[in-house]
Structure 1
Amino acid sequence: MAKKYDYSDWSKEDLIKHIYELEKRKKYGLVWDEEREPEQVVLQCKKELPVLKEVKEKEIKNDPDKPTHILIEGDNYHALSVLNYTHEKSIDVIYIDPPYNTGNKDFKYNDRWVESEDSYKHSKWLSFMDNRLKLAKRLLKDTGCIFISIDDHEQPHLKMLCEEIFGEKNVETYVWNVKDETEGAMPKTAKYTVRKEHEYLITCFINKTNIKFNKYEEYTYLEKEDWKNPDNDSRGNWMSGNISRGLSGKPGSNYYTIISPTGNEYTRNWSISEEEYNVLFNDNRIYFSKKGAGVPRIKIFQNESQQVIQSSIFSNVKSSITGKNLIIDILGKCDFNHPKPIELIIRIIDISSPPNAIILDYFAGTGTTGHSVLYNNKYGNGNRRFILCTNEEENICTDICYPRINNVIQGYINKNGENIDGLGENLKYFRTDFVPAESTDENKEKLTKQSVEMLCLRENIFDFVLEDGPIKIFRNKEKYMAVLFDQSEIPKLKTIISDYDKHIHIYIFSLGDDNFSDEFLDMSNKITVKSIPAAILRVYKRIFK
C-alpha cells in the first residue's frame, strides 16, 4: 500500500509550493497524485529513445494490392511515442480496451499488480492513462475520434480525464448492452443489489463539430444461424425480437392482455400499442414460441434491415461470451477473460471511419480490433489499415494476438475440424527497441541507422528495392523512399533515382538540421527531401521534456 505524505517536517515555503502545484493542476475537479510514483517506462525515455525493429520472420505477405497492417510488440507508451513521429494527425479512429482497474490482477503499474486496497490505485491508473491519452490525441486527424471501453470502476474518473484532455464539449458516453439475448441468459453476478448488464464506451473527438457518423445497416452483425424460417414465411428468414416490457411496473397506455394460440394469457406492459399489435398479428409478424404457448415476440425479417444512426446504447453486438468462443475456435484455447466481440468493434468502425481509414488500438490484447478490420475489409468492401500495439505480458502478443491475426489472414482449421478461408492482406511485425538519449554525434548516427523501419512506417513503404553502400531504397505502388547515411554520396543517389517514374521521398543523415533542397534543384518536381534525425528528435524532445 502506498504511503501518505508526512507534512510535519515541511517548511512553509515547501508547503506553499506544493499547494500551488496542486491548484495549478485542478481542472473539472480532477486531481491525482501523479508525482508520488512516476511510471518507469516514462522515466526510461529520459535515458533511452524508442525505435522500431522489424521481426522479419513474422511478416505476412500475400496480395501487394491489399493493405499492409502493423503489429508492434512492446510497451504502448514507447509505441505511441514512435507513432507521434510516424503518424501525427494521421489516425482516423482509435479503439482501446484498457485495464479496468478492478483490483483483481488486471492492472500493473511499474511491474506490480495494483491491488484493490491500494489507496493510490486511482492515481496510478489515471497517471497511466493520462500519459498515453495525451500521446494518442496528437495522432488523430481533425475529424478523428477515440472510443474507450470501461466499466463502473473507473468510468467517472476516465470521463473527467478525457474532458480535461479533449475538452468537455468533445466527450460523449455510450452504453454497451453486454447482454445478448441470442446467447442465452447472462450469469447472475449480483445476489442482492444490481446485476450488471452494461459497460461504457467513452468517445472523444478532436472537434465534435467536424464529425458526422455514418449510418449502419441494422442487424448486419447477427450470425447467419440467427436468421431462420421455421414457419416457411414467404418473406424469407427472420429472427424474433422482444416486445414485452416485463411484468413489473405500473400499468401504462400499452398495458393489455395477449392470448396465445394455445390459450395462455399474458398481461403486462408492451412496447407497442394494442392497435399496433393487432396490425402485426394480422400480417403474421407475431411469433409464439414453445409451439404456440410462449410469450409473443415480433418477427424481424432479414431483407427488411435498414440504415440507422447509432443510438446512445450499443445493442445487438454480442458479448464477451462470443468474443472468447471465437478465439477458442481460431486458436483452440483462450485463457483471457472478457475479450470484446468483433461485432462491437465492427459497429464502431462502420459508424466512425471512412473505407480507407487507419485504425489504431494500443491495448490490442487478443487482437480483436485487427480481426474486425480484416473482416470489415473483406465483407464491407473496405480498404482500412490497422496498427496494433500490445505488450508481451503473459505472452499475449506471441501466443494470442499474432497467431490469431496470422490465422485469420492465412486461414485455419477450427475446433470442429472445418477449413476456414483466410481473409488475406499483409502484416508487418515490429518490436520496440532503444538507442541512447544523450545528445552526441555518435548517438545521432545510431538513431538514424535504427530509424529506417520508422521511416518505412511513416511513408507506408515496405518493399525493398536496393542497398548500395550508404543508400537504401524502398517503394510501394505510388512512390519511392530513399535513405542516405552519407551526404557525400548525394551525386550517386541522384544517378540511381534519375530514371524513377514516381515521386521520391529522400531522408538524409545530418548532425544538424540541414536543408538539402539546393542539391536536388534539377529534380525538385519529383522529390521531397528531409534531414534526419533532427525531425525525430524534435518530436521526442516535446514528449520527453
Structure 2
Amino acid sequence: MSRLNDLIRQLRLKDPALADDLEREVGALADRRSFGLNFERHTPEAVELPGRQVRRGDKVRILPPRGTMPTKSDERLWRVASIDRAGDARAAALESLDGEDSQSVTVADLVVVAEFREPIYPGLVSTGKVERGGDTPFHTVINAENYHALQTLLFTHRGKVDCIYIDPPYNTGSADWIYNDRYVSGDDLYRHSKWLAFIERRLVLARELLAETGIIIVAIGDDEHHRLRMLLDQVFGDGNFLSDVVWQGGRKNDSRYVSNGADYMLIFAKNESALAAEGVRWREKKPGVDEALAAAASIWVECGGDHTAATVKWRAWIRNFKRQGTSSDAVTRFVNLDKNGRPIRTDADLRSPNPRPNLQYELLHPVTGRPVRMHPNGWRYSRETMSQMIARGLVYFGPDHTTGAGGVSYLDTMDTHVPESVFIRDRNSSGRQLIAILGDRRFPNPKDHDVLRRWIRLAAPSDGVVLDFFGGSGTTTEAVMRLNEEDGGTRLSILVTNNELDAKVAQVLTKAGHRRGDAEWEAKGVHEYVTRPRITTVATGERPDGSTYDDTVPANVEFFDLTYEAPLRVASNREFGRIAPLLWLRAGSRGRRIDDISTGWDVADTYGVIADFDHAEKFVRALADEPDAALAFVVTDEDWLFESMCRDLPEHVEPVRLYAAYLRNFELESGRGAR
C-alpha cells in the first residue's frame, strides 16, 4: 500500500484530479472486509437540477432531442466555460472535463448537474403551506434529491432526530428506482452493488442526524433484505440491532413453492446503551384491553355492584369477545371480577424457578393460620417482599391452607405488553386508504399509515422529530399527524421526496416531446401528483378535484423546494430569503419565520437574527423577553463582533455565526460517504 501511496503523490503533481480519484479507489479497496459485506462502490451519483439557472463554471449534461430517450452518450458531463448573453437563444461554450473537447450548445438544452463529491450550498423556497394546527410545529415536506436533503438537514437537525423511518426502493429488477438519473433494470449486472452504494451513502448521513437515543426503521423486501441487514450492521454496529420485524401482508397463491408475502422492517438504535441508560422499554396496549375495561365498568354499574351477578355477565361477555378474535389472550384470561368490579386474575405463578434455601419458608394461610402448600423450589420472592405483596392484596389464598397461593394481577395494571417481531395485516388496505384520500389511484403499493403509526408511537417520544427521506406518497407524515391527534402529541414530521416519475409514465411523456422541467412532466411527478395533494387533503379536507374528504387531521404543514445557491452570494448576505427557512427549521419550525432582515435585526418566537450591530442592545433585550427563543444567528465576518455578541446574549440563547457555520457545514460534508 505504501508503494501505491508514493505513486499517487507523484501523480498529484501532474494531475491532481486523477490522483484524488485513485486515492479514493485505493481507500475503498483498503476498507474491504475479509468477512462481511463487500460490494463495488460505484461512481458517486450525480443529480440533474432542471430549472436551475445555468452559470459559468457549472457542470452540465446536454439534454437529448425532445421525443427521444437518453442514451449512454447523454450521460457525459461538460463544464460551462462561458455564456453568450446576447439574443433570445443564448448559447453556452462547453468544455469536456478532461479538456479535450469543446462545443457550443443552446442553454435551453442544458441541465445543471450536481455531483455528490462536490459541496453544495442549499436553500429552501416555500411552495405553499397549510396552517390549521394552532401553535404546534410545522410538519415539513421537502422536494429534493434525498442525499442533498440529508446534507441540508445536518445543518438544521444534526443529533436531533428521534426516529427515522424509510421505505427505500426494494430493487426488484422492475426499474423501480433511479441511480445517476437513470432507471436501474433487472438486467443490470451491477444493480445490487449500485443499490448498496446508493443506500450506504444515505445511511452514513442519517446516522449523524439521529439523537443518541434515536431509532432507525428500514422497510425492505426479499430482494435486498439479507444485504441490507449486513449493511446496517456495518453502519450502525451489530450491537445496536433491535429487531427484524416481519409484516405478513398477504398470500400469493400463484407462487410455485412458497407464498413469499412478507415484508420486513429492520430496526437499529444509534446507541442501544443510551436507550438502556434512559430506561426505555417499548410497550403497547394489549389488543382489546380498552374495550374490556369499558365493558367491565358498564356491567358493574348495570348490576348495581352485585358481585355474583356481575361476574356471570362478565364471563359471558368475555367468552363472546374471545370468539371475535380481535383481542389478545392476555385480556380474555381475566375471567373474574374483584369485589370492586375490576377484572382480576389470581393464578400468577409464585413458585421459584430454581431451588434456593432463602426462598423456602412457611407462608401462613390468613384464615387457618397454617402453612399453605409450597413447591419444592420455594417461593419466587423473598419473605419480606412476599409480606409486602400480601399487605397490598397481591397474593390470593384459597379456602384453606391445602390449596396453595397465587399471585394477583389486575387488567388495568397489566394493560400493555412488549410488541412481537411478527404481525399480520392485509397490505391492500393502504391502497384503499390512499384512493379514498385522493379520489383516484395515483400510487402503487403505499405503506399503511396505521402500521407506521404503531411503530412510530413505540420508537419516538410524544414531542419527537420523525424523519422519512424516502417519502413516497407521504404515508409517514399522515401517520405522525394522526398519532398526534390520537394522543395529543406534538411530534414533528420531516418528509423528503423528489418529483420522480414512474418509468412507464416518463417514457410516455418523453415520446410526447416533454422532458424534466416542463410543466407537463413536473405535474406527474410523485411530489406534485401524490405526496403534496395527499398531505394537503388530510390536513384540509379538500381533495385535488375540489370534493370533500371527511377524515381530516388539522395540522400545520409547509412545502419546500430545495435550491442550490452560490456560496459567495450567501456569504455576502444576498440570499437571506433562501437561507431563512433553514434557520427557522433549526429553531424548531414553530411560530413566525424571519424572512427578511432589511431592518438589521429581528426576533421571532424561537430565535433571532442580527446583521446590524447598531441595534445590538435592542436585539439582546428582545431575546431576553422571549422565553422560547433559544438561538441567535449572528451575521458577521468579524471575530470580535461575534465574541462580543456572545458575551451579551441571555444564558438561554445559543449563538450561531452566519454564514461561517452554514458554509463550514456543507464544505465539511461534501463527498462524505460518497466515494
TM class, shorter-chain normalised?
A: 0.7 to 0.9
The CA deviation string for residues 496-537 of structure 1, in whole angstroms up to 9 with x for no partner, is: 553551154321223466662424645544644331121122
- Measured against aligned partners, the alpha-carbon deviations of 1:464-485 in whole angstroms (never above 9, x if no partner) come to 4785525353523xx3x22234
Alignment of 1:77-88 (within 5 A): 77-88=147-158
Q: Establish whether residue 136 from structure 1 lines up as the match of residue 206 from structure 2.
A: yes
Q: Is the 8 A contact 2:602 2:619 kept in 1?
A: no
Q: Distance in 2 between matches of 1:443 and 1:462?
A: 26
- What residue number does 1:121 align with? 191
Question: Which of the residues 507, 512, 532 maps onto 2:658?
Answer: 532
Structure 2 residue 513 is matched with structure 1 residue 374: no
Q: Distance in 1 between matches of 2:478 and 2:533?
A: 11
Deviates more, 1:61-70 or 1:459-468: 459-468
Does 2:299 correspond to 1:218?
A: no
Q: Does 1:435 align with 2:565?
A: yes
**Are residues 539 and 28 of structure 1, via their aligned partners in 2, closer, same or farther at CA, if it must alter by over 3 Å?**
farther
Give me the whole-angstrom Cα distance separating, in 2, the residues matched to 1:320 and 1:495.
57
Q: Contact (CA 8 Å) 1:51, 1:435: kept in 2 or not? A: yes
CA distance in 1, matches of 2:601, 2:481: 31
- Quote the residue 1:502 is aligned against: 626
Alpha-carbon shift at residue 49 of structure 1 (Å) = 2.1
SS of residue paired to 1:149? strand
Q: Are positions 1:492 and 2:615 aligned together?
A: yes
The 1:499–1:162 alpha-carbon spacing in structure 2 relative to 1, beyond 3 Å, is closer
Please name the residue that 1:409 is paired with.
Answer: 539
Among candidates 457, 461, 466, match of residue 350 of structure 1: 457
- C-alpha spacing 1:525/1:146, structure 2 compared with 1 (3 Å): closer
Residue 168 of structure 1: aligned partner: 238
Counterpart residue number, 1:240 = 324
CA shift in 2, pair 1:452/1:513, >3 Å:
farther
Which stretch of structure 1 is more off in the superposition, 167-176 or 22-31?
22-31
Distance of 2:168 and 2:640 partners within structure 1 = 41
Partner of residue 308, structure 1? 417
What is the deviation of 1:436? 2.8
The one-letter amino acid paired with 2:584 is: C
Report Cα offsets for 1:136-193 as digits up to 9, x if no partner: 000101100100000111111111111111111112442333336xxxxx34241x21
**Letter of the aligned partner of 2:45 in structure 1?**
E
**Which position in structure 2 is the counterpart of 1:543?**
669
Letter of the structure 1 residue corresponding to residue 670 of structure 2: F
CA distance in 2, matches of 1:242, 1:498: 59
1:444 Cα deviation after fit: 5.4
* Partner deviation per Cα, 1:325-364 (whole Å, 9 max, x = no partner): 0000010122322211112101111211211111111111
Which residue in 2 is equivalent to 1:29?
36
C-alpha contact 2:439 2:543 (8 A) present in aligned 1: no
The 3 A distance-change label for structure 1 pair 401 and 187 is same
| 3-state secondary structure, aligned to 1:420 | coil
Question: Of residues 568, 584, 587 in structure 2, which corresponds to 1:456?
Answer: 584
Q: How does 1:54-133 map to 2 (within 5 A)?
A: 54-55=126-127, 58-133=128-203
Q: Which residue of 1 aligns with 2:98?
A: none
User: Distance between the aligned counterparts of 1:130 and 1:71, measured in 2?
Assistant: 23
The one-letter code matched in structure 2 to 1:463 is R
| Distance change >3 Å, CA 189–CA 37, structure 1 → 2 | farther
Task: Name the CA distance, whole Å, in 1 between partners of 2:249 and 2:581.
Answer: 43
TM-score using structure 2 length: 0.61
The structure-2 alpha-carbon separation of the partners of 1:306 and 1:123, relative to structure 1 and needing over 3 Å to count, comes to same
Contact 2:570 2:659 in 1 (8 A): no
Alignment of 1:200-211 (within 5 A): 200-211=264-275
Is contact 1:97–1:149 with CA below 8 Å preserved after alignment?
yes
Greater gyration radius: 2
Which runs of structure 1 show a deviation greater than 6 angstroms over 4 or more consecutive aligned residues? 16-20, 220-223, 302-305
Could you say what the CA RMSD is over the residues aligned between the two structures, in angstroms? 3.7
Aligned AA (2:40)? D
Contact 1:412–1:421 (CA under 8 A) maintained in structure 2: no
What is the aligned length? 453
- Taking structure 1 as reference, are residues 336 and 46 closer, same or farther at Cα in structure 2, changes over 3 Å only? same
Farther-moved stretch of structure 1 (78-87 vs 193-202): 193-202
Query: Could you tell me which amino acid in structure 2 is paired with residue 498 of structure 1?
Result: R
Cα 1:466/1:112, change in 2 over 3 Å: closer
What is the Cα deviation at residue 541 of structure 1? Answer: 2.3
Asked if the contact 2:447–2:475 (Cα under 8 Å) also holds between the matched residues in 1, the reply is yes
Q: 2: CA distance between counterparts of 1:139 and 1:310?
A: 26
- Unmatched tracts of structure 2, length 5 or more: 1-10, 12-18, 48-113, 296-314, 336-410, 502-524
3-state secondary structure, aligned to 2:245: strand
Does the 8 Å CA contact 2:120/2:666 hold for their aligned counterparts?
A: no
Offset, 1:203: 1.1
Distance 1:328 1:61 in 2: 24
TM-score by length of 1: 0.74
Give the percent of matched residue pairs that are identical in Structure 1 and Structure 2: 26
